[in-house]
Amino acid sequence: MKSFNWEKEAETQWDQRAAFWNARSKKMWDSGSRKDIVDFIKKHIPEDYDMLDVGCGDGYGSFKLTQAGYKVTGVDISSEMIELAKKNNKNAAAFYQADINQLPFKADTFHGAVGINVLEWTENPVSALNEMKRIVKKDGYLCVGILGPTAGPRENSFPRLYGENAICNTMMPWEFQRIAQEKNLEYIDGFGVYKEGVNEENYSNLSLDLKQALTFMWVFIFRKAGDL
């Protein structure tokens, strides 16, 4: 029986999805589920900081970050995505093909790292988070978006229930928050992205975990305060 190589399969599948992603990423960042992320980052992370966009895809999110005043480097496991990112961004940012589990940067290189809906697509999210944390300077920031329970893309992990291989690793926002805090990352802020039909009065008085339970995505900001 052929062994399953998660990273190789992820690279292959995202290469195949590159054109599909490129056709919809601009709308996601401009008016869709990711439209508030850059403003949220600006609220907490000073402009002109060096930022690593992990899982940058076709680079449109990286472009939005450069527009906001950040110095951006983007990485993605898919070579097809990186080619699109270079084509779409010209000299706005630097892009490299890389696996989140083996980032080609020295420790304490960046002031911040961004990973939106990336850790759910790794075989070992804890290992991937450790690598993101490694390349961020002390007192730097991590902005991470985790798909919530109502997110359609989570269906990509469904085959695992039949014992089949899948490159999507189901993880709840509150599970990720616990992992991050156990890694001595200080929770600074977060916000929820909700599907149409969920209004603010539906969740405004709920506890944090119940708010997260209604989300399409929860976006976190953590600070790397140093190991205890």
At 102-147, the pLDDT tens digits run 999 999 999 999 999 999 999 999 999 999 999 999 999 999 999 9
- Please say if the pLDDT value at position 33 is more than 90: yes
pLDDT of residue 227: 58
pLDDT of residue 85: 96
The pTM score is 0.94
Q: Which pairs from 45-49 meet CB under 8 Å and 24+ separation?
A: 45/70, 45/111, 45/112, 45/141, 45/143, 45/221, 46/111, 49/110, 49/111, 49/112
Taking residues 15-25, report their average pLDDT: 96
Across all residues in the chain, what is the average pLDDT? 94
Q: Rounded to an integer, what distance in angstroms lies between the CA atom of residue 120 and that of residue 54?
A: 13
What is residue 91's DSSP assignment?
T
The pLDDT confidence band at residue 91, using thresholds 50, 70 and 90, is confident
- Please say if the pLDDT value at position 156 is more than 60: yes
- Please say if the pLDDT value at position 48 is more than 60: yes
Q: Which pairs from 164-171 meet CB under 8 Å and 24+ separation?
A: 165/4, 165/9, 167/6, 167/9, 167/10, 167/13, 167/121, 168/120, 168/121, 169/119, 169/120, 169/121, 169/122, 169/123, 169/125, 170/120, 171/119, 171/120, 171/125, 171/146, 171/147
- Tens digits of residue pLDDT in 55-65: 999 999 999 99
pLDDT of residue 90: 76
pLDDT of residue 89: 85
The pLDDT confidence band at residue 225, using thresholds 50, 70 and 90, is confident
pLDDT of residue 224: 96
Taking residues 46-50, report their average pLDDT: 95
- Please say if the pLDDT value at position 228 is more than 80: no
In whole angstroms, how far apart are CA 6 and each of 116, 117, 209? 19, 17, 30
Percent of the chain whose pLDDT exceeds 70? 98
Start-to-end C-alpha separation, the chain? 44
List domains and CATH numbers for the chain. Answer: 6-224 (3.40.50.150)
pLDDT of residue 2: 59
Percent of the chain whose pLDDT exceeds 90? 93
